[in-house]
Structure 1
Amino acid sequence: MSLMNLHVDGQRTAWRIRQAARWWSRAIGLLATPALEDPCGLWIAPCNSVHTLGMRYPIDVVFVRSDGTIAKVVEQLRPWRAAGCRQARFTLELRAGLANQLQLKPGMVLALAA
């Protein structure tokens, strides 16, 4: 899995994101990670719902449409919970609190780039 830089509304951020595009990496997700420091998140494609069953820490979940616009933001999703968004094509799981720090809102555009 490669590391990419997160871009918000065309502006590069300092945050690096890991991608999960294969079935196995999408299925495992963040379960095998102790914490989200660097990289600070996981971009799951395709994905329109997530669960935190078996996780040890909360996460922020950003549901992204196929054109890159944010459809929904779920902050501080605690362990043993689930969230989804029918319009989403991708899901960005972030370290808890980072969505608020980046002021992510529906309608903003996300992208990953080297």
Structure 2
Amino acid sequence: MRSALTTITDAEGRVICERCLVADRPHTRLRGLLGRRELARDEGLLLCPAPSIHTWFMRFPIDAVFLDGHLRVIGVSPDVVPWRVAARHGARAVLELAAGEAGRRRLEAGASLMLLDSDGAPHAA
């Protein structure tokens, strides 16, 4: 998959991230959220593959949602502030959301997520 915007839902159809950039190429993973002043509540970044993240040089805190190879949540690190590292054993991807969004959207370990194309059809990460 090329880097593109997508929507992420859970297994119950609740929208988890309305406008998520899928960063699955070296350049987009390297750039991440660097240079941004904020991340809106409806935005996110899905880094894959990625077992960990860092917030070096960032200007704002984020929630890091760690996913296994089937897009199942294996852990959440809320409010990761700048200049920190976060990781989970077994993670294959990380969904970065605005700080507080993981809790607001009730994301917890065991939840299964799904990526939707622009026409609403599911596709794999």
Which interval holds the TM-score relative to the shorter structure? over 0.9
User: Does structure 1 retain, via aligned residues, the 8 Å contact 2:41–2:97?
Assistant: no
Moved over 4 A (4+): none
Matched, 1:96 2:99: yes
Structure 2 equivalent of residue 30 of structure 1: 33
CA distance in 2, matches of 1:6, 1:65: 15
Structure 1 equivalent of residue 121 of structure 2: none
Of the two structures, which has the highest relative contact order with CA contacts closer than 8 Å and spacing of 6 or more? Answer: 1
- Among 71, 81, 86, the residue aligned to 2:84: 81
CA deviation after TM superposition for structure 1 residue 73, in Å: 0.2
User: Does structure 1 retain, via aligned residues, the 8 Å contact 2:41–2:98?
Assistant: no
Structure 2 equivalent of residue 65 of structure 1: 68
Matched, 1:11 2:31: no
CA deviation after TM superposition for structure 1 residue 38, in Å: 6.8
Q: Number of residue pairs matched?
A: 114
CA distance in 2, matches of 1:75, 1:38: 14
Structure 2 equivalent of residue 45 of structure 1: 48
Q: Aligned AA for 2:115?
A: L
Q: Which runs of 5+ in 2 are unaligned?
A: 118-125
CA distance in 2, matches of 1:23, 1:10: 32
Q: Could you tell me the TM-score, scaled by structure 1's length?
A: 0.93
Q: Could you tell me the TM-score, scaled by structure 2's length?
A: 0.85
Q: Aligned AA for 2:7?
A: N
Q: Deviations over 1:40-72 (max 9, x none)?
A: 110001001000000000000000000111011
CA deviation after TM superposition for structure 1 residue 113, in Å: 0.8
